Amino acid sequence: DGGITQSPKYLFRKEGQNVTLSCEQNLNHDAMYWYRQDPGQGLRLIYYSQIVNDFQKGDIAEGYSVSREKKESFPLTVTSAQKNPTAFYLCASTEASRNGYTFGSGTRLTVV
């Protein structure tokens, strides 16, 4: 079955560490997105990529980095510069924006 796989499901990070969240899709979608969701809040856009080898900052890119070396993969690195990284991270993709977006099941990141 086609879909988006995010891993790990839960991730614990010590302060000062960088961590990388994985997002892989086999839907052949060109565009991919990373969102962050805090309790009781909506989704806020971190980075997006509309084509391989190109990506753009979203509304809250500070403290995050991404790469898009392959169509299927869009990993997100949460760096030590991100002051409040504890959140639910969601990856999404689309073939055409008018068709809506498919989400992975998310990664819950906690700083310990």
Partner 1 sequence: RKEVEQDPGPFNVPEGATVAFNCTYSNSASQSFFWYRQDCRKEPKLLMSVYSSGNEDGRFTAQLNRASQYISLLIRDSKLSDSATYLCVVNRYKAGGSYIPTFGRGTSLIVHP
Is residue 101 near partner 1 by the rule CB under 8 A? yes
Is residue 100 near partner 1 by the rule CB under 8 A? yes
CA-nearest of 41, 59, 93, 67 to 104 is: 93
CA–CA distance, 54 with 2 (Å, rounded to integer)? 23
Indicate which single residue of 11, 45, 60, 61 sits in contact with partner 1 (rule: CB under 8 A).
45
Shortest approach of partner 1 to residue 65 CB, angstroms?
19
Is residue 35 near partner 1 by the rule CB under 8 A? yes
Indicate which single residue of 50, 65, 77, 80 sits in contact with partner 1 (rule: CB under 8 A).
50
CA–CA distance, 100 with 84 (Å, rounded to integer)? 29
Q: By rule CB under 8 A, what string of x and - marks binding of each residue 70-99 to partner 1? A: ------------------x-x-x-x--xxx
How far, in Å, are 25, 41, 51, 91 from residue 18 at the CA level?
23, 24, 25, 18
Return residues touching partner 1 (CB under 8 A).
33, 35, 40-45, 48, 50, 56, 58, 88, 90, 92, 94, 97-106
